[in-house]
A and B are shown apart, each in its own frame.
Chain A
């Protein structure tokens, strides 16, 4: 029987692969752009900036996110029921108790963040506590603990940072090339022109590709957390019912933004139908179906 450890180990490996390939990709972009501009400065800048930014966002991700969603911490006496659920599931998952936060929001939703299991945070909305029954709430909390145990935050932060970085780099290049190319046109030969066109193409496509990779990873992690969560509670139906309830809630979340949407248990936005390719969460119907197919 797989435990959380199995997933965590796999995820650490995947993170390394992802980080390495992203770094290679960024260095390649940097190299390409510095070839065009004839200055190695961009490359150095790219490498240093990428390293620095991933470090900062990994280390402070929890504080930044909690501030953005205006979550407030609670203690055991504030909500002993919720506390017990988290304690029990933590024992079942073999995780230390995370800090528990509540977001004053009517939409039922939740998220987990923090750089590792010893600095983990689980935040739930007021709506989640009000609308869900115990088995459903357990399902949602187990899903969030699965994210912590699977080390999804690590994977997630690093992808977000790297995606953002690719975007910055491309943007930077496109801005510079607008006047740079016009001025030095006479000195260029054919091969350089081809390189230049190639670089522009890369600058336009790279951020899009990076974004799509990020979304694909994010969707995969949601499915995995559902599966691991079901392993912890041994009751996939609870999570499935929670998803149904959340899907039927008609309003968007006020405190969520594009920057934090991927963190949540279910997509916090309502109304806009976006294509699957550009979505951070798999369609709720598919998640419910996957959960109900787990035979017992």
Chain B
């Protein structure tokens, strides 16, 4: 009788360990997939920037300082992306966003540039990638939060530490217009 009880207990425990482990794996994979979405858009943005710089140069060649800053910020961000450190990347992205702002502020002074089809198209594309980065970031952060909560909370944290699941970093960049998530009851 006691043997059967122990056996049942064992089966339950093993079943729970398997379920908890699988849950952690799927949470981790979701977070990684979500990161891929951000990555695609970041790359697209890096590809757009040289075109943008060239276009602005065509109308405002003497604003050298701005172009250099943008190019440098882009290189830095690309390096940080290769490095894979989310926090460093966020910092580099913030810097890049700042320099781009200056670039567009400069563009404001050149009516011919502002009216150019090429420039308008690039501006639209850039805004589109930025919107997409925002959505991708939200999705990524939501998934990372789920993963981190699972890793931290008892009793899943036991499994997480045994199998070496690590918490992941949120990708936070300073966007003032960012909206908070509404509190939703299901």
On A, residues with C-beta under 8 Å from B are 1-3, 5-7, 84, 87-89, 91-94, 224, 227-228, 230-231, 234-236, 294-296
Q: Provide the bound-state CA to CA distance between A62 and B129, in Å.
A: 31
**A3 pairs with B146, CB closer than 8 A:** yes
Q: Report B36 CB to chain A, min CB distance, Å.
A: 11
On B, residues with C-beta under 8 Å from A are 30, 33-34, 37, 41, 128, 131-132, 135-136, 138-139, 142-143, 145-146, 179-186
Between-chain CB contacts (< 8 Å), 28 pairs = A1-B142, A1-B181, A3-B139, A3-B142, A5-B146, A7-B186, A84-B131, A87-B132, A88-B131, A89-B135, A91-B37, A91-B135, A91-B136, A92-B138, A94-B139, A224-B186, A227-B185, A227-B186, A228-B184, A230-B182, A230-B184, A231-B181, A234-B180, A234-B181, A235-B179, A236-B182, A296-B181, A296-B183
**A294 pairs with B142, CB closer than 8 A:** no
**B132 pairs with A88, CB closer than 8 A:** yes
Find chain A residues with CB under 8 A from B136 CB: 91-92
Q: Provide the bound-state CA to CA distance between A283 and B143, in Å.
A: 33
- Decide yes or no: A2 and B179 within 8 Å by CB, A89-B135, A234-B138 being known contacts: no
A-B interface pairs (CB < 8 A), number: 66
Of all chain A residues, the one with the shortest Cβ separation from B149 is A1
> Interface SS of chain B: helix, strand, loop or mixed?
helix
- Decide yes or no: A231 and B135 within 8 Å by CB, A1-B142, A3-B143, A91-B37 being known contacts: no
Q: Provide the bound-state CA to CA distance between A195 and B47, in Å.
A: 76
Q: Report A2 CB to chain B, min CB distance, Å.
A: 7
Q: Report B23 CB to chain A, min CB distance, Å.
A: 10
Of all chain B residues, the one with the shortest Cβ separation from A92 is B135
- Residue of B132, B145, B184, B185 ringed by the most chain A CB atoms within 10 A: B184
Q: Report A76 CB to chain B, min CB distance, Å.
A: 12
Of all chain A residues, the one with the shortest Cβ separation from B141 is A1
Q: Provide the bound-state CA to CA distance between A294 and B41, in Å.
A: 31
Q: Report B154 CB to chain A, min CB distance, Å.
A: 20
Q: Report B15 CB to chain A, min CB distance, Å.
A: 18
Of all chain B residues, the one with the shortest Cβ separation from A290 is B185
**A295 pairs with B183, CB closer than 8 A:** yes
Q: Nearest 9 A-B pairs (CB), nearest first?
A: A92-B135, A234-B179, A294-B182, A91-B135, A227-B184, A91-B136, A3-B142, A88-B135, A296-B182
Q: Provide the bound-state CA to CA distance between A91 and B33, in Å.
A: 11
Which of B37, B128, B135, B183 meets A294, CB within 8 Å?
B183
A1-B146, A224-B186, A295-B183 given; 5 more Cβ-contact pairs under 8 Å: A5-B146, A88-B135, A93-B139, A227-B184, A227-B186
